[in-house]
Amino acid sequence: MVWKRNIAYVDLSQGKITKKRVPKSLRLKYLGGRGINAYYLFNHISPGIDPLGPENALLIGTGLLTGIPALGAGRCDIAAKSPLTGAVGNSNIGGFFGLEMRLAGFDNLIITGNAEKPIYLWIKDGEIEILDASHLWGKDTFDTQIQIRSDHNDEEIKSIVIGVAGEKLVRYANIRTGMKNSAGRAGMGCVMGSKNLKAIAVRGTMDIEFSYPEKLLEYSSQMNEMITSSRWARAQSKWGTLIIYSNTNTTGLIRTRNFQRNLLEGGEDLEPENMDRYTVGMSGCYGCSVHCRHRYVLEKGPYAPIFAEGPEYTSLGAFGTMIGCKKMETVLVANHLVNKYGIDTLEVGGLCAWAMELWEKGILTGEITDGLELEWGNEEVLFELIRKISYREGFGDLLADGFKPAITKIGKGSEYYAMQIKGMSNLHSDERPTPSLALGIATATRGADHLRSRPAIDLYGLPEELLEEIYGGPVSSDYTSYEGKSREVWWQELLYAVTDSIGVCKFQTVFCAVHAPKWDEFSRLIYLALGVDLNKPQLMEIGERITTIERLFNIREGFSRKDDILPERFFKESTSLGFPIAKGKKIDRDKFQVMLDEYYALHKWDNNGVPTPEIIQKLGLEKQQSQTT
């Protein structure tokens, strides 16, 4: 029974719902979550379709291990062709929705077509209904969830929803659940909005069966102890991911004023201990023993009262360092607004920072910006831009389609200042001193991305013997070196593909903690949950299969080696601030190309980034490869 999990095909144009079993063979090749979504994404849409058309498939997939009481295993993956980039679009989301969906009897949803009017899906204990959402349309992401619970008189309902940004088809609108959890990148909320799908609400009281439940419970406890014993987890439990800022800003690894600088001078108020003024407790996702999320209250100000969760390190950068804001309260208000409207933190922050630099350089004027003076650090301008983008008003409408369309409309050399890859905004970090992190964002399948292959432990200066033991080959312990960094990126890419597919939290793997769970621990968990042996080489092959089918999807959509590149500023401008190890650094163009060659070779792709016949045959992707030629 552990393998008898269901998938539902929902055709919104026809109002038709079909239920089937998830094939065991697919599980063994792709596990679940991101992996199975990648397979269905490639095989359920045709090349070149409009991401906002009825042909695009919205895919919801729980992880293979979603529901185990460890490692934050409540996650699910949401995928579609990205309306922001035209490439692979998917985003992983935590909280409690993934678990509730499994308890309601479904591991996967494939949603196609477009409804004629606003609707939402109601899923309860193996049954699915399409219900009218007219009364929900226009509500923010918080009120929508509250209203659905009220409609069904059940406070235990979990929903994924869109806000006004999704309704207005902002191309980087996100999908939200709970107070904070977001499927943030690649515009999955925009896809929901194009389908007139306001929400998916689930309630489940069914069982999730495991092969060896008692042993699984015992081993899950060991995994939680393994995590909570690490210094990284203890720091997260107190400060959340804001703790990263204390290190990156001091060192000079953080993007400030859209890349003009690499350290925020006078940014002391953004230090994590200043959250003590606002925090009323910490919270976490299902199956998490860390609890890394601040719950905070703002009692004063024009947007008060605010009771919210966050911010993550990414929001601190997006609404702090990137635009030159130095007040924690500014970040907290902006964090609340993007969550309320349902829009991606990084994309908003990246576009606002870009616009402010264009204003500074005279490329943008008040005639274009609706009279807004886009000065660095102006919090009122930031809040108004968030609102305008979300509602597609005036200048906000120009930014709502993302970097590439905005560059075309603005022109005047604006592309040089756009910190984006494949159309997606980069993180607020500065990768010029860190070749491994630079290669990771350049090659990520969904655009500039710190969650596809980020070898963050490269920053620790670990002994090279330990790095070789982890990565299976020689790696320099100097994070400014280019030696062995392609191996780090490749290895982490495979690990994260599997992590996203089994449904556990990346922060509880080898991301920022060296001795966190990885291949062997995943193997043991899978065996106890499902009774099947998948060893380290087999899991790495699955990670390779997931990464390669995503690569094939992007090739089919016109992407190639030329798109695995960094913004020109990485190569032309050196860092000016920070510790001596980070100061005066830029990416060497020739060495970057060598790293890229090495990275392709590790994947067994050719020099153009095209998977070779050898790896295609090994991974069983002949059918998919034939569709890219």
Show Cβ contacts of residue 626 under 8 Å, excluding neighbours closer than 6 positions.
Answer: none
Right CATH for 6-203 from 3.40.50.300, 3.30.1360.40, 3.10.20.30, 3.60.9.10: 3.60.9.10
Does the pLDDT of residue 388 top 60, yes or no? Answer: yes
> Crossing angle for the helix pair 345-360 and 403-410, nearest 10 degrees?
20
Determine phi and psi for 77, rounding to 5 degrees. Answer: -120, 140
Does the pLDDT of residue 1 top 70, yes or no? Answer: no
Q: Which residues of 353-374 are buried (b: 16+ CB within 10 A; e: fewer)?
A: bbbbbbbbeebbeeebbeebeb
Q: Cα separation of 37 and 75, whole Å?
A: 14
Q: Cα separation of 620 and 202, whole Å?
A: 35
CB 80, CB 57: distance < 8 Å = yes
Q: CA-CA distances (angstroms) from residue 589 to 443, 478, 570, 596, 597?
A: 15, 19, 9, 11, 13
- Per-residue pLDDT, averaged over 490-516, amounts to 95
Does the pLDDT of residue 471 top 70, yes or no? Answer: yes
Identify the DSSP state of 568.
Answer: H
Identify the DSSP state of 314.
Answer: H
Q: Which residue's entry shows tokens 């969906």? A: 101
SS3 call for 528? helix
Does the pLDDT of residue 499 top 70, yes or no? Answer: yes
Q: What is the pLDDT of residue 629?
A: 58
Show Cβ contacts of residue 283 under 8 Å, excluding neighbours closer than 6 positions.
Answer: 291, 293, 295, 309
Domain boundaries, the chain: 6-203, 252-420, 435-626
Give the model confidence (pLDDT) of 215-262 as tens digits: 999 999 999 999 999 888 899 999 999 999 989 999 999 999 999 999
For the domain 252-420, what is the CATH code?
Answer: 1.10.569.10
**Pseudo-torsion of CA 201, 203, 207, 208, nearest 10°?**
30
Beta bridge partners of 11: 16, 112
Q: What is the pLDDT of residue 173?
A: 98
Give the model confidence (pLDDT) of 199-224 as tens digits: 999 999 999 999 999 999 999 999 99
Q: Which residue's entry shows tokens 């910190």? A: 419
Give the model confidence (pLDDT) of 13-72 as tens digits: 999 999 999 999 999 999 999 999 999 999 999 999 999 999 999 999 999 999 999 999
CB 338, CB 348: distance < 8 Å = yes
Q: Cα separation of 21 and 11, whole Å?
A: 17
Q: Cα separation of 435 and 549, whole Å?
A: 26
Q: Cα separation of 151 and 135, whole Å?
A: 11
Give the model confidence (pLDDT) of 277-326 as tens digits: 999 999 999 999 999 999 999 998 889 999 999 999 999 999 999 999 99
* Class of the domain covering 435-626: mainly alpha
Determine phi and psi for 254, rounding to 5 degrees. Answer: -130, 135
Give the model confidence (pLDDT) of 554-575 as tens digits: 999 999 999 999 999 999 999 9
Give the model confidence (pLDDT) of 601-621 as tens digits: 999 999 999 999 999 999 999
Cis amide linkage into residue 51, ω under 30° from 0 = no
Strands 279-283 and 293-298: antiparallel
Q: What is the pTM of this model?
A: 0.96
- Per-residue pLDDT, averaged over 410-416, amounts to 97
Q: How many CB atoms lie within 10 A of CB 23?
A: 12
Q: What is the pLDDT of residue 625?
A: 64
CB 424, CB 447: distance < 8 Å = yes
Kindly report each contact of residues 213-222 with a partner whose C-beta sits within 8 Å and lies 24 or more positions away, as own/partner. Answer: 215/528, 216/68, 216/525, 216/528, 216/529, 217/69, 219/70, 219/524, 219/525, 219/528, 220/68, 220/69, 220/70, 220/71, 220/525, 221/69, 221/70
SS3 call for 430? coil
Give the model confidence (pLDDT) of 525-555 as tens digits: 999 999 999 999 999 999 999 999 999 999 9
Q: What is the pLDDT of residue 623?
A: 78
SS3 call for 110? strand
